[in-house]
Amino acid sequence: MLALRSLLAILTITTNLFSTSFSSIIDEEAQKIKKADNQKTHPKILEFNKNSQNRPTKCQVCRIMVHEIELELNKTKNSKQKIRFSNSLDGRKKENLSYKTSELRLMDVLDMVCGNVDYYRVIAGPQFPYLRNVKSMYRIELEKAMKESGVGLTLDAPPQTVDDPTAEIKRLHFECVQMVEEYEEEILEWFKTNQDIPPIDYICRERVLQHGTKDCLDATTESPEWGSQIVKTTTDQGIYNLLKHSRSEL
């Protein structure tokens, strides 16, 4: 849980007290929350937070990448769209190609995949710590701290400050982009001739992670008793608006 003093940089505080008396209240509440944090936070969560710089792993990036590929492909699985193109130099001979089986469909999907990591959040507890469409553990802790402090606070901060203070989701995006570029041929090969094999096996287990650790591919997303609370959201809520910005802007 964040100490109240560190929250001042990201919160707009509404109060009718004078600044001098308000500062003393803040100091007092900060000490209370800090003491409560040390008593309540499970040691495994503290360890999880300490190791944030080691995440995401290559395995975690690949698992999310192929999951998003499947989700995006599923959106157009019943498409009957036809693509009209010319296969001659003079442009006279026209042919129709099914969008469903075309490389264009896959390219459209790959354009979306890494931007979709914006909808994931970090959760301490599950073996696989990235969940889609849930509140981040940091936002939950912040809201709890605000409630327990007893001081009237209004949250007015950029989503990345609250939901991704360790920059894991941002790193996840960059590493996903790199992975798509590096393994585009393997992804295309799966799409064209091997869709009967789950992509997590064909792309991740057998190729991307052929000589690496594969444990996360079978890791559960269930949270143990000591883990962070999982609070689902009803809509896609991005942190960085990755689908609206170019890579160079991030």
pLDDT digits 0-9 by tens, 101-113: 999 999 999 999 9
What residues contact 1, with CB distance under 8 A and at least 6 apart? 33, 36, 37, 40, 41, 141, 142, 144, 145
Query: How far apart (Å, rounded) are the C-alpha atoms in residues 142 and 4?
Result: 9
Q: With cut-offs at 50, 70 and 90, classify the pLDDT of residue 237.
A: confident
Tens digit of pLDDT for each residue in 196-210? 999 999 999 999 999
Tens digit of pLDDT for each residue in 161-196? 999 999 999 999 999 999 999 999 999 999 999 999
**Domain extents for the chain?**
51-241
Mean pLDDT, the chain, integer: 83
Question: Which is higher by pLDDT, 94 or 97?
Answer: 97
Model confidence at 3: pLDDT above 50: no
In this structure, what DSSP letter does residue 118 have? G
Query: How far apart (Å, rounded) are the C-alpha atoms in residues 209 and 195?
Result: 19
Stated pTM of the model: 0.79
**Average pLDDT over every residue of 26-33:** 50
Residue 132: its pLDDT value, please? Answer: 96
**Average pLDDT over every residue of 114-124:** 96
Q: How many CA atoms lie within 13 A of 30 on its CB side?
A: 13
**Average pLDDT over every residue of 90-111:** 85
User: Tokens 């798509």 belong to which residue?
Assistant: 180
User: Tokens 């919160």 belong to which residue?
Assistant: 11
Tens digit of pLDDT for each residue in 43-63? 999 999 999 999 999 999 999
Query: How far apart (Å, rounded) are the C-alpha atoms in residues 134 and 74?
Result: 21
